[in-house]
Amino acid sequence: MRLPPALLALAAALISSTSAFAGEVDDIAIEADRLNQAACLAVAEQQAVNKAGVAMAEVSVLWVKVDEVFEAAAEPKPTFLLYWRGVLAQCLDRNELALSDLEGFVEAEAGKPGSADLVKDATRRIVRLERAVAGIVDRPQPPIVVVGLTGGYQRIEAPAVAGWNYGVAALDVSVRIKGAFAVMAFLRAGVSDLNTASDGALLLDSDGNQSRSVLSLFGVGPLLRFAGPVYGYVGLLLQLAPDAWGLLGSPFLVGAAITGGIEIPLGASPLGLRFGGEVGNLHSSITVRGTGGVFLRFGE
């Protein structure tokens, strides 16, 4: 975990200040204001071996000196030093020692005027340290909002026709609710090739012209989205379409579809590539879609 320079500076001041043992905390704080050490940052960022090695040695020296100051101090002990000892131990991956010191600091300083910010930071660190000590790995979270814009192919197998092929454009928005669980709303708009009957004959409209089918589907459903170098998603969608053919005498045809696919982020950009597929039904018809395009992700 990165150690803020101001916090590391205060720990560094404990080394240089000869007044630390006398408890002259104000003098230490004043000196801390003008120091800006970056040793722990070098360790956390895993810089070149020589830089990281030097940084780790500096942090180790700070850690020992803070411990010496704390142990040599008269009672009552300056418990705020437990914070500095804890964060330096955390920087060195001595997680159990860091956890013990930070818990001791929070217990001693909680509710005291002037300690609120440090107590809040220590509490956040304790949560992460507890997970590290327990061997629990923090898994990357999927984006909060994902917007997809894709296009591709759709096939509708309906009774009494040979099946219709569509070019389809797809738009959807998913919002993460908690963890991998999200909810997605979508729109699929397609135009078919020339309509044919089951015997292969072209279907004509009421004016005797060759006809095409325009089909717009929309709906919503739960989604599981998984984070990683490549995102994956799978979900179950309720899909509806206007009953343009008057099959049921109701405003919409109703069905469901299973959706799934992968999303490939393009570096740090919010833009990425998406490839997906959907299989389901719409009333008595079977629907199959394959799409590809781009997506935008927000709030990882």
Domains, the chain? 5-133 (1.25.40), 145-298 (2.40.160.20)
- pTM value? 0.53
CA neighbor of 164 nearest in space, from 172, 173, 154? 154
- Give the pLDDT score at 136: 64
Task: Enter the tokens of residue 176.
Answer: 């993460």
- Give the pLDDT score at 211: 67
Indicate the helix (H) or strand (E) that contains 297.
strand 285-298
- What is the residue-level pLDDT of the chain in tens, covering all 300 positions? 444 554 444 444 444 443 444 454 444 333 333 333 455 655 555 555 566 667 677 777 777 877 877 787 778 887 877 887 888 788 788 889 989 999 999 999 888 887 888 899 889 889 888 888 877 656 677 899 999 999 999 998 877 656 788 999 999 999 999 889 999 999 999 988 765 555 555 555 555 556 677 888 999 999 999 888 899 999 999 999 988 666 566 788 899 999 999 999 998 889 999 999 999 998 888 999 999 999 999 986
Answer whether 284's CB lies under 8 Å from 159's CB. yes
The burial of 11, by beta-carbon neighbours within 10 Å (0-12 exposed, 13-18 middle, 19 or more buried), is given as buried
- Give the pLDDT score at 19: 42
CA neighbor of 195 nearest in space, from 222, 221, 215? 215
- Give the pLDDT score at 205: 54
Residue 225 and residue 132: Cα distance in Å, rounded? Answer: 25
Q: Which residues contact 186 (CB under 8 A, 6 or more apart)?
A: 170, 171, 172, 173, 217, 218, 219, 220, 237
Task: Enter the tokens of residue 107.
Answer: 């217990």
Give the bridge partners for 218, in sequence order.
Answer: 187, 240
- Give the pLDDT score at 289: 96
Residue 281 and residue 285: Cα distance in Å, rounded? Answer: 6
- How far is CA 127 from its chain centroid? 18
Answer whether 95's CB lies under 8 Å from 129's CB. yes
Residue 238 and residue 280: Cα distance in Å, rounded? Answer: 9
DSSP state of 77: P
